[in-house]
Amino acid sequence: MSIFEYIEVFYNRQRRHSTLGYRSPVIYEQQQNG
């Protein structure tokens, strides 16, 4: 896996974002979709 793939595929989906209430994008999306 390249560094680009790691960042785009894993890191950005798992890290917490302050704009999402410190939730990962995956968790945020799951909560929004009910």
- CA distance linking residue 31 with residue 22, whole number of Å: 13
Distance from the Cα of residue 21 to its chain's centroid: 12
Provide the residue ranges of all domains of the chain, joining segments of one domain with +.
3-32
Whole-number pLDDT of residue 32: 92
Cα separation values, 27 from 1, 3, 13, 19, Å:
24, 23, 9, 13
Which residues on adjacent β-strands are paired with residue 17? 23
Whole-number pLDDT of residue 16: 77
Average pLDDT over residues 2-27: 79
User: 3-14, pLDDT tens digit by residue?
Assistant: 888 777 777 777
pLDDT over 80 (residue 22): yes
Tell me the pTM.
0.48
- CA distance linking residue 24 with residue 32, whole number of Å: 12
